Amino acid sequence: MKIFNKSKILIVGGTGSFGRAMVEKILKLKLGFSEIRVFSRDEKKQDDMRKDLNNQKIKFYIGDVRDISSIDNATKDIDYIFQAAALKQVPSCEFYPLEAVKTNILGTHNLLEVAEKNNVKKVICLSTDKAVYPINAMGISKAMMEKIAISKSLLANGKTKVCVTRYGNVMASRGSVIPLLISQIKQGKPMTITDPLMTRYMMTMDEAIDLVLYALKNGRNGQTFIQKTEGSNLITLTKALMEIFGKKNYPVKIIGSRHGEKKHETLMSREEKFNSHENKKYFVLSPDLRDLNYDKYFTKGQKKIATLTDYTSSNTNQLDVKSLVKKISKILN
């Protein structure tokens, strides 16, 4: 199904866990792109991708979103962009918050500026559950990235549409705890978790890619797309891994919460839920279309907001051990 026939797409952060998986999915689905550009600062991963995928449609660009000239060169003649470049390790961003600002906020701003200049049709910016009620530098920087993206969508030239996708923990990706726990089991070390009752969304990479492709195909300017995702607490996760690796009653060590960690993650606040609509798989948030010409004082509120609840990793559908085993097994095969 060649719905993007002869179009060109740029994946910024294209050598990361999401970026590479997206390139492979685009090739597999045969969506009709004539060129797939991979932009990143990691020349080693680019070389690995070039050898592994060996496809003439893929073009590699070395650069950094912090450098507007390098991203400008990569966006010329491009129709669509996925912005997946980010600093996303929570502890790293806590200790080096300015670096998170430079990449996650200013880097996205640079990309949107050159996308508008080069008449790109649509940009999809990837965000995270940590952007809702942020308590750490990574989440704060992503929340600001979202604000910049939506602001640009309303102020741009009208030719470039901007959408945001927001999703939670991608299982077995670079930012997930699952690879660490598996490594500990293989080394014979106790599994370390922060809080047994801490919950996280459990989303596969395929689900994350489907969300972004859905936004690319269906997104209107300024919309934010949120995946409806199942959740699990950490003790259920450890039990599922014990079953997968045949390690009954394997030792688990509780180490306490790390810098900037929440007990539960939130994908959508109750205020956002008020301005959303949904289908079977996704929530879609509409942008706030007000400008600075609003009333000095509110004359009318919204009583309905008080009856709504946040959409969190603790109140979404919870996976039991059996369901989690099934889901993890798929990504390990």
**Domain coverage including residue 120:** 1-170+202-229+266-311
pLDDT for 181 = 93
Tell whether 221 is covered by a domain.
yes
Q: Is the pLDDT at 33 greater than 80, yes or no?
A: yes
Does the pLDDT of residue 126 top 90, yes or no?
A: yes
Query: Is the pLDDT confidence value at 56 over 70?
Result: yes
pLDDT for position 296: 58
| Catalytic site positions | 130
Pairwise pLDDT comparison (8 vs 274), residue with the higher score: 8
pLDDT > 70 in the chain, percent: 95
Average of per-residue pLDDT across 219-233: 94
| Residue at 39 is within a domain | yes
> Does 183 map to a domain?
no
Contact 231, 313 (CB under 8 A): yes
Q: Report the CATH number that the domain containing residue 301 is assigned in CATH.
A: 3.40.50.720
Which residue has better confidence, 174 or 186? 186
Mean pLDDT (the chain) is 90
User: Any idea what DSSP says for residue 53?
Assistant: H
Nearest to 71 by CA among 19, 110, 129: 110
State yes or no: pLDDT of 322 exceeds 70.
Answer: yes
Torsion sign over Cα 233, 235, 238, 243: negative
pLDDT in tens, 185-206: 999 999 999 899 999 999 999 9
Identify the CA nearest to 135 among candidates 10, 286, 266: 266
> What local confidence, expressed as pLDDT, does residue 274 receive?
87
Count the domains in the chain. Answer: 1
In a domain, 331, yes or no: no
Q: What is the model's pLDDT at position 27?
A: 93
Long-range contacts from 17-21, C-beta under 8 angstroms, 24+ separation: 17/170, 17/173, 17/174, 17/205, 18/84, 18/126, 18/170, 18/173, 18/205, 18/208, 18/209, 19/82, 19/84, 20/45, 20/49, 21/205, 21/208, 21/209
Residue 321 lies inside a defined structural domain of this protein: no
Q: Mean pLDDT throughout 240-260?
A: 89
Percent of the chain with pLDDT over 90: 74
Rounded to whole angstroms, how far apart are CA atoms 266 and 132?
6
CB atoms within 10 A of CB 54: 8
For residue 146, being part of any structural domain is answered with yes
- Residue 253 belongs to some domain of the structure: no
Structural tokens at position 186 = 């293989």
1: pLDDT strictly greater than 60: no
* Beta pairing, strands 276-278 & 311-312: unpaired
Residue 318, pLDDT above cutoff 70: yes
pLDDT in tens, 22-31: 999 999 988 8
Residue 330: the pLDDT is 86
Average pLDDT over residues 102-126: 96
| 179 vs 291, more confident | 179
* Predicted local confidence at residue 294, as pLDDT: 67
Predicted local confidence at residue 187, as pLDDT: 95
| pLDDT for residue 292 | 72
Q: 165 in a domain, yes or no? A: yes
Which residues, at least 6 apart from 46, have a Cβ–Cβ distance to it below 8 Å? Answer: 15, 38, 40, 60, 62
* Entry pTM: 0.91
